[in-house]
């Protein structure tokens, strides 16, 4: 979606943002209950090198979440 591209460019994200207007990924990852949901829940997933979900973060506090993910990522690398 154009909005995602513009947002990513504005903040210089080095990756693409996922757009899921049909809620297909949201349903697969339990971020929404139906395709008619207005918004998906904010859930983060840490994916390991094998493409497997290593950790799901169903409650995200923006102030502490980045540090928690980096800590968990370091544990995966051990």
Statement: residue 1 has pLDDT above 80: no
pLDDT digits (tens, 9 = 90+) for 14-53: 888 878 888 888 899 888 888 888 888 888 899 998 999 9
Contact 26, 38 (CB under 8 A): no
Which of 34, 38, 12, 14 lies closest to 24, judged by CA?
34
Domain locations in the chain as residue ranges? 1-40, 42-78
pLDDT for the residue 69: 93
pTM of the model: 0.65
Q: Is 56 helix (H, G, I), strand (E, B) or coil?
A: strand
- Give the residue from 17, 18, 31 showing the smallest Cα distance to 60: 31
Q: What are phi and psi of 45, to 5 degrees?
A: -125, 135
* Stretch (H or E) spanning 53: strand 53-57
């Amino acid at each position: 979606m154009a909005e995602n591209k513009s947002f990513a460019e504005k903040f210089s994200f080095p990756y693409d943002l996922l757009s899921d207007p049909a809620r297909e990924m949201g349903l697969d990852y339990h971020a929404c209950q139906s395709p008619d949901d207005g918004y998906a829940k904010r859930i983060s997933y840490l994916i390991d090198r094998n493409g497997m979900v290593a950790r799901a973060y169903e409650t995200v506090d923006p102030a502490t979440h980045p540090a928690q993910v980096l800590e968990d990522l370091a544990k995966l690398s051990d």
